[in-house]
Structures are given as C-alpha cells and as structure tokens.
Amino acid sequence: MQDLGVFRLIAPAGPDTASWRGAAPGLQPTPLPAEIRWARPVLPMPAPVRRFLFLQGPPGTFFFQLAQTLAQKGQEVRRINLNGGDEHDWPGPVADRSGTHRASPYRGTQEGWPLFIDRYLRRSGITDLVLFGDCRSMHMTAHQMARLNGVRVHVFEEGYIRPNWLTLEREGVNGHSPLPHRPQDILAAARGLPGPAPMPPIGASLGRRARDTWGYFGHMLLGAVTLRYPFYRSHRPGSIVMEGLGWIAKYLMRGRQAAKAEVTLERLEGRSYFLFPLQLSSDYQIRVHSPFSSMRQAADYVLASFAAHAPHETSLVIKEHPLDATLGGWGAYVRDRARALGLGDRLIHLAGGDLNTLAQGARAMVVVNSTSATFALAGGIPVKALGRAVYAIPGITDEQPLAQFWAAPMPPDEALYDAFCRVLHRHCLVRGGLASESATRILIANAVERLVG
C-alpha cells in the first residue's frame, strides 16, 4: 500500500486493470498499473466540540471575554451567576455554534446547590467546568459534582510565579494542586523541559484591579439588598462596606505611603534583615492551607519567634500586601508588638517598596505560603514556609523549625528549583494578567490554547 496525501493506493484483489466508470463512449482511458486502484479518501476527524460552564471568576470581565473567545473557536459556553457581582461581570449573552445563551441565575440556598449543579451539569451536557479558586464553598461543591459526572475541572488562581503569569491547573490549585512534591519526582518531570523564554513585562495597574473589585462587590451588595440573590453569602470574611472604605483610604494615602516607604528603604541599607511578606486574611491560602485562622495570628507567631530566637544584630521587615485594604493598616500593630516584645527599631513596617528588591537584599524570607517566596528562591535566598505551598519541597524551602531557621537559614538547591520552575511553566502557568487590557488579551490567548490545545 502507498499513501499519496489523504488518498491511499491499494493493490487490487480482482481485475488486471482498473476501469474508468463513466467514461464517454469511444473514449479509452489510460489504464492504471495493474497493481494499483483508488481507495476511499482518509480524511482527518474533526475535533470534538466541548461545552464549558463558567462559575465565578476574578473581579472584572476576564471570564466573559474568555468565554467569547472560546465560542469564536467553535466551542460552546454556559454560565451560572450566583450574585449581582457575577451579573455585572457577565454583561450579555454569548453566541456559540449552538445558539445565543444568556447566563442562568441561581437564586436558591446553599443547601439546594448540590442537586441544582448536578442536574445542570447532566442536562446541559457540560464537558468542562471553569472556576477561579477552588476553596469557595459553592465552587467546592461544583467541583465534587463535576468529578462524579466525569466533567473536567479547570481552576484559575493568582500566579504561582509573579508578575506576568496566572495559574491554570486541572483539578486544583495551591494545596490541592496535583503537582509532584518529592524532589526526585520534580527532577524526573522536568527532564527535557525548556525554561521560559525571556519576554517583556506585562502591563499592570493597581487602579484597574481596584475598579474591578469595587464594581464586583458593589453590585454583589446591590443584588442582595434588592433580593435578586437573597440567599447568597460571600466567600470573603468581614464587611464589604468596611473594605470599600479601606480602599478609599488606601487610595488617598498612596502618595504619603510611597514617600514613607522610600525613607524606610534608605534605613535598611547595610542592615541584615529577614523579610516577612504579609498575605490577605481573606485568602484561602491562610484560611485553608495554613495552621492559622488569620494573618494577624500568623504575624503574632512569627514576631514572637523572631524576638526569642533571631540574632540580635538582625531586623525583621514586615511588608504589607499591595491589595490589603484593611482600615488602619498594619502600622499600629507593628508599633505595638515592637514595644511589647522589646524589639524597638528592629521591627520595621513597610506599606510599599519593590518586593523583588527587598527579597534580593534579605538574609532570608519567612512566609506562610505566599507566592512572594518565589522572588527570594529565584535569587538563592533561603525561605521558610509555615503553611502548605506548591514550592514547599525539601531542598527548595528550609525544613528546620522556625526557631532554628533564624540562626542558620538554608538556601534552596539551585538545580531543584530550576527543575520546579520548568515544571510549573509547562503544566501550571499561563502568561498574562488581570490589571490591564493588554494583559488580559495576552492571558485569554494563552488560556484558550491551554484549555482546548
């Protein structure tokens, strides 16, 4: 047998020559060679169409734009809104190959959600479920029902490596990630994988993230008070109104905080310091994947350990999270703990400053499980992780108890961390961001490629 393009030429079992059916009378065709006849063409099979169901995404229209792009690529998309913020961020119907589809609202109770989502997945023929974060209670239920129905689950999250990347994993992220955690498995998985190619930075604006957050939570509150979604309860602890006031205060104080940060950074020159980047108490990294119930509780633990065990010539720099809008901030807390623990000016509070520069100048870094650790690890700076994290692997982070870490922090194994990063980029990360239009366009293009190949 011989292949010619998409046609096969196969040796016949019957006549010596091929006949030309349909030839005009009196016209003699040129005989084909005796050993050959035409066979039926072999055409490529079309890729199966998949139907994606979107639940809650990050504040903003990223999920809506991603769904539109998937529809343009020939896939089908559906959406369930759980609150008024979801409605705001999904501003219209999406047209795919099966028609034009509006989002379906769920206005029932938490108790009714499992049966509702199970029925929706089956009746709508959903093949793929898309979420942002896998620890919200309604997302956890949807995830479990999807697994029971054989539905693929894709979870977005803030990037394991930042900036310029978001996380996109099958089945789970952070402490639920299916990534290997044994050094030998990491090295085996990285064999033959290239590192990421150098690329320009992704554009970002804190103002854009703040506007998206305001829009989402403002409409979520409106949906509740107008009883369009009377039973919905936010996955975030605390008061949305107080957080909104905190964002206003943060915006008004941004110039003053930036100037104060510059003065503090000058004080750090020539000093030996540990860096402790804070996380958000509302983050499930703290609430689910750590031994602490809040960031304040974690800070109490770290500061007490530093006071008792760190060398006296060292300082501890507490760096606020850039999206922390807690009213009053952390300044008063740090001053109070410095007095109570007798640390004086060894305890330093920062509400600004470049995290990468701070990490590279540090003696070591302590985190609960923040992705800030990757800034230190990339520069060979020792890291102690107190909670579950994808990078908390023997040989990458320090396995000593915190009390011993202060005196003799152990740097990461360079080859192992390089292998870990190559595995992350191949299986977990998509390039792009949420803080500008250009970043979102890049993210959508790369996410679609990851989702449908």
Of 27-41, 236-250, 399-413, which range is least confident?
A: 27-41
- What is the DSSP code (8-state) at residue 136? S
CB 183 within 8 A of CB 397: no
Of 143-152, 242-251, 282-291, 388-397, which range is least confident?
A: 242-251
**What is the pLDDT, as a whole number, of residue 350?**
92
Of 112-126, 145-159, 228-242, 291-305, which range is least confident?
A: 228-242
Burial 431-440 (b: 16+ CB within 10 A, else e): bbbbbbeebb
Domain range summary for the chain, segments of one domain joined by +: 1-44, 51-194+429-452, 256-427
Cα–Cα distance between 339 and 247 in angstroms, integer? Answer: 28
Half-sphere exposure (CA, 13 Å, Cβ side) for 127? 9
CB 59 within 8 A of CB 216: yes
The candidate with the shortest Cα–Cα distance to 126, out of 68, 73, 53, is: 53
Q: Who has greater pLDDT, 272 or 8?
A: 272
pLDDT category at 146 given cuts 50, 70, 90 is very high
Burial 24-57 (b: 16+ CB within 10 A, else e): eeeeeeeeeeeeebeeeeeeeeeeeebbbbbbbb
- The identity of residue 109, as a single letter, is T
Asked if domains 51-194+429-452 and 256-427 share a fold, the reply is: yes
Q: Who has greater pLDDT, 151 or 2?
A: 151
- HEC string of 379-413 equals CCCCEEECCCCCCCCECCECCCCHHHHCCCCCCCC
Q: Look at strands 364-367 and 383-385 and give their pairing.
A: parallel
Architecture of domain 51-194+429-452: 3-Layer(aba) Sandwich (3.40)
**What is the pLDDT, as a whole number, of residue 40?**
53
Q: For 198-217, how does the pLDDT look when each residue is reduced to its tens digit (9 = 90+)?
A: 888 888 887 788 889 889 99
| CATH number for the domain running over 256-427 | 3.40.50
**What is the pLDDT, as a whole number, of residue 361?**
95
Q: Tokens 């396995």, residue?
A: 399
